[in-house]
Structure 1
Amino acid sequence: MAEEPHSFFSVARVEAYTDAVFAIAATLLVLDLTTNTIGEVASDAELWTALAAMLPNLLSFVISFLLLSRLWVIHFQQFRELERADGVLLWINNVRLLFIVLIPFTTSLAAEYPDYVAGRVALPVNFFVAALLGHATWTWASAKGGHLLKEEAKQDAYRSARAGLSAVICGAVAAIVSPWVGSWGFLAYVFNGPLGSLLQRRAARQRA
């Protein structure tokens, strides 16, 4: 009996679906601000006080939106180099999207329950797992000699791998320190760019 050929799928369809999920998650983030209504106010002073009370929610929204945007940039850079997708990549990507759509929920936990460990930890862990699965997506695509990559991308596959790995490392640091410092742990992502460049230079020296 002849072996069935391996099934491959259009990258464009996967990318379009993934972009839509990212867009929905970004939209849902702001709904937490709109559902926390200010209520009735009778003066400018009361309005400013009410707005100040929403600052934790606003801060969580800004942090989550920026980090979500960073994850989307990594996704964009990865899929630009893909020639095709297979079933394994589809499901790694689907599981990653599960954690992407959870971000609005874990963001609300960080804003509403910052005094509890679970409230401080949920969002950093969420981002860490999403970044880890993004890195796993590229690792699988570049495995087996780059079996899912465009021909011109195979030579520099390590560069995109290091960019995703730096996000994973920063996410791990943020998750580890979050029980003590909460959302301040996301400052670890400030080092994402320099760390990614360092990892790329180190990989280039090893390949030379």
Structure 2
Amino acid sequence: MLSFFKGPNRIEAFSDGVFAIALTLLILEIKAPNIGENGTSAALWAGLAHLWPSYLSYLLAFLTVLVSWIGHHIIIGQVRRVDFPLLLANGFFLLTVSFLPFPTSIVAEHLRGESGTAAMVVYALANLLNSAAFVGLVAATVHLNPETAVVLAGVRRNAMIGIGWCLLCAGVAYLSPVVSLLMVAALWVWWIRPQNAGV
């Protein structure tokens, strides 16, 4: 089986393409305010301010994909051997990354309405799934490349923290969708810090 998979180069190239597309799709969810041809500057400013959930959800989703890419880069940098389970784990992880624009659009559209709770539960669970897929990718990597266990321990720990935190965010959404969104923001800000990169 191993003879069919020569190394991690194609995984890295394919994955980087998926990450780039996912980042591009995120910005498409922000729509210009519709104020009509005769709209005033004040109306435009008000319309832009009204879109703050779109800006925040875009920023958080961008950070999610960015942190996912950083973690993926760390993992692939350690891989020396590739097998079918590792390819499947990588594919599932990319599936969760490419899915992120959808819950992002839901939050942008529904955060302030009666459906805000449901929107944030979906968003938090999408992030939870992304963290769980990352843990699976680490496990598949370490299983085939045991020498990577120590190096990848940090990123695996952070992903496990993410699973628990996103589950908590889903619960908090029933009390306050906005607080839940800010909690997700806190997670990604914490993860983006260099000392939490896991290396």
Q: TM-score range by the shorter chain?
A: 0.7 to 0.9
For 1:54 and 1:111, how far apart are their aligned partners in 2?
Answer: 8
* 2:84 paired residue among 78, 82, 87: 87
Q: How far apart are residue 131 of structure 1 and its match?
A: 1.2
Instruction: List aligned pairs for 1:164-179, cutoff 5 A.
Output: 164-179=159-174
Task: Work out whether 1:186 is the aligned partner of 2:181.
Answer: no
Instruction: List aligned pairs for 1:25-44, cutoff 5 A.
Output: 25-34=22-31, 36-40=32-36, 41-44=38-41
Distance 1:76 1:170, change over 3 A: farther
Partner of 2:46: 49
User: Aligned letter for 2:12?
Assistant: E
Specify the SS of the correspondent of 2:9.
helix
Specify the SS of the correspondent of 1:179.
coil
Question: Unpaired segments of 5 or more residues in structure 1?
Answer: 201-208
CA contact (8 A) 1:135 1:168 kept: no
For 2:71 and 2:172, how far apart are their aligned partners in 1?
Answer: 24
Specify the SS of the correspondent of 2:79.
coil
Farther off after superposition, 72-81 or 38-47: 38-47
For 1:82 and 1:23, how far apart are their aligned partners in 2?
Answer: 21
Q: How far apart are residue 128 of structure 1 and its match?
A: 0.9
Encode CA deviations 1:4-37: one digit per residue, 9 max, x unaligned: 6664342111111111111111110100114x54
Query: How many matched pairs?
Result: 188
TM-score normalized with structure 2 length: 0.81
Question: Unpaired segments of 5 or more residues in structure 2?
Answer: none
CA contact (8 A) 2:92 2:133 kept: yes
Task: Work out whether 1:58 is the aligned partner of 2:29.
Answer: no
Distance 1:193 1:47, change over 3 A: closer
TM-score normalized with structure 1 length: 0.78
Distance 1:38 1:84, change over 3 A: farther
Q: How far apart are residue 56 of structure 1 and its match?
A: 1.4
Q: Sequence identity, in percent?
A: 25
Task: Work out whether 1:161 is the aligned partner of 2:159.
Answer: no
For 1:57 and 1:155, how far apart are their aligned partners in 2?
Answer: 39
